[in-house]
Structure 1
Amino acid sequence: MDRLGFFKKGLSSMMEAAQAVIGLKQAAETFTEAVDDALRDVSPGFGLFLPSVDATMYDSPSGTLYEVGQMGYTKVEAGCYINGTAYNVKAEELLQMAKSSGLKISGLHLNKFYEKAKVVTTTEADDATEEASGEAVGEGNAEEATFLSPAITAWWEKALDSAKAMECRYVTMSQFPEEVSAQTIEEYVQYFNLIGEMATERGLLFSFHPTKAEYQLRGESSIFEELIERCDKERVWFVLDTFEAHNAGLDICGTIKQHAKRIIALHLHDYDIVGESEKIDFNRILSQAEQSKIEEVFIEVRSYPLPPQHCVERSLRNVEILDSVKI
């Protein structure tokens, strides 16, 4: 064999070896991806309350969602809704970003305080509605037209349509007036019921996320207890936040057990990184949540001893090693 033939043969052998190495690398990468997918399928499916990483969601929504997915989260609850967008991203675009990162958008936070509508007679309401739609309305619809102003109705219609476009299962409101009277509660019972009806028409569920103030007793009961008792059981659900509930002195496990059918989601929220304050018994809470069949469980961080991304990742790891978490 001449030198050129020897060189060609050697080069060919080197190329075959290189291809074998590349093939092994590709196989290893494929195997790793398959393992990640399998682990994701059998994981308990913890979600992240996205406002926990608000700053980077505004700076780089796609990159942040990718990071969240790589941490091991399987779903998110979005916030920062403004005029059909979340984090300045249109609903359909945010959905595609989430899907590309292996995430589902389970819920969207929407906040709009109730405002008294102009008081009109039934005849005036009928005339206004007929003029807008070309159809006559019954007494019930006229009452709704007078209770909700056109501006608030339009706001909720657009917001709920945006949540639908994100393929959310539910929407959540977390604001409630600071000054509360019996009339305030009556108005919000009706307000929540109407929003719940609008959500149901779109295949969504409406929920309220109480804070410490709504969990605390006012005389013999709390705002939370009054709302859960008086709101339509087929239209209004609730999100239980462990930090807010613990801060108010609420029996968290007892509340989950008592109101399991009305609690749509559980927020694992600590005084900083979840599981590190040693003030809240997350192992017991998750055990009760599993017994009560609470499907939506999210991690929420609002106090940051470390950069936010580190806090939410460490929080997830702390939760995953709890005895009550079955993988």
Structure 2
Amino acid sequence: MKKGSLLLMAAFLVGLFILPACAPQKKEIYLQLYSVRDDIKADYTGTIAKVAEMGYTGVEAASYADGKFYGLSPADFKKSIEDVGMEVLSSHTARPLADSVAATNWDETWAWWDTAIKAHKEAGMKYIVTPWMPTPATLADLQAYCDYYNQIGEKCNAAGLRFGYHNHNFEFQEIEGQLMYDYMLQNTDPSKVFFQMDVYWLGEGGKNPVDYFNTYPGRFELLHIKDELEIGKSGKVDFESIYNNAGTAGTKYMIVEVERYTEGLTPFESVKESYDFLNNAPYVKAVYSK
């Protein structure tokens, strides 16, 4: 065989065997569907397909009501997501206590949660996350919520699910001299309640995510990766430090949420730009769940 032919054969073998082994693994990046809320209302099926085409691994739902997700039965919702090549990870849903905690109808409350947990299990969820709560007037009311969340977490655990709480920035105010967010972390059982830190809102509350990772290691099983607009655009959030310290946080999954879009960008363009930023960032590992 001539020298030129040998070189061509060697190049072919390198491409066939070595290059595929070096190809980057697709990164696990999930999307909170609130990011494309208007598009989902207009065309659920088309929107889910476009999200999958962008490269997202799976979704976090934002429209649970009366045992259904986006008007679909749990089984149909699960199928709709899996049919486009994504997975169902989690869901935002909440049932606040009565304004006067003592006036809460506990029979109705627990019946509601039993239905919700069953629906989430049937939809293939790993996590249920409460995305918001009223600001308690007293520390006793805040403690009542901590006790409530512990009980919900116990029910979720029994069903093979995990229960968590998602912050905004109002949790970084004091109630009777206690910082609300820290009080919740200290008065919920880690085996029953995790925290889905929204890294943008925590910063807007004047705090540093990595400081919380170090103070409460292992408590932040999910992260909401968010910015003022598209991910990485504002410069306000140190995403590199957040990702580099995800092990301390105990984080298993990262979920993109885009609430506001740069003028001139469609929600789809905004969400795709956010995906591309993370997918191209060298400090973002392919997998955090193992």
Name the structure 2 match of 1:55: 38
The 3 A distance-change label for structure 1 pair 94 and 250 is same
Question: Does the 8 A contact of 1:118 with 1:149 survive in 2?
Answer: no
- Please point out which of 167, 192, 195 is paired with 1:210: 167
Name the structure 2 match of 1:287: 244
Q: Which runs of 5+ in 2 are unaligned?
A: 1-19
Name the structure 1 match of 2:284: 325
The 3 A distance-change label for structure 1 pair 89 and 59 is farther
The 3 A distance-change label for structure 1 pair 292 and 228 is closer
Within a 5 Å distance, the mapping from 1:84-99 to structure 2 comes to 84-99=67-82
Post-superposition shift, 1:190? 1.2
Question: Does the 8 A contact of 2:101 with 2:144 survive in 1?
Answer: no
Post-superposition shift, 1:179? 4.2
Name the % identity.
24
Q: Tell me if 1:103 matches 2:103.
A: no
The 3 A distance-change label for structure 1 pair 209 and 220 is same
Q: Tell me if 1:166 matches 2:149.
A: no
Name the structure 2 match of 1:81: 64
Question: Does the 8 A contact of 1:209 with 1:238 survive in 2?
Answer: yes
Given the two structures, how large is their TM-score scaled by the length of structure 1? 0.75
Question: Does the 8 A contact of 1:243 with 1:269 survive in 2?
Answer: yes
- Please point out which of 182, 185, 208 is paired with 2:139: 182
Name the structure 2 match of 1:262: 219
Larger mean CA deviation between 180-189 and 108-117 belongs to 108-117
Question: Does the 8 A contact of 1:105 with 1:168 survive in 2?
Answer: yes
Letter of the structure 2 residue corresponding to residue 318 of structure 1: F
Name the structure 1 match of 2:27: 44
Question: Does the 8 A contact of 1:94 with 1:166 survive in 2?
Answer: yes
* Separation in 2, partners of 1:216, 1:247: 12
Q: Tell me if 1:301 matches 2:258.
A: yes
The 3 A distance-change label for structure 1 pair 117 and 282 is closer
Q: Tell me if 1:234 matches 2:217.
A: no
Post-superposition shift, 1:62? 2.2
Post-superposition shift, 1:293? 4.6
* Count of residue pairs brought into register by the alignment: 262
Given the two structures, how large is their TM-score scaled by the length of structure 2? 0.84
Letter of the structure 2 residue corresponding to residue 66 of structure 1: A
The 3 A distance-change label for structure 1 pair 324 and 109 is same
Give me the CA root mean square deviation.
2.0
* Separation in 2, partners of 1:63, 1:73: 15
The one of the two structures with greater contact order (alpha-carbon pairs below 8 A, sep at least 6) is 2
Post-superposition shift, 1:48? 0.3
Post-superposition shift, 1:220? 5.1
The 3 A distance-change label for structure 1 pair 193 and 304 is same
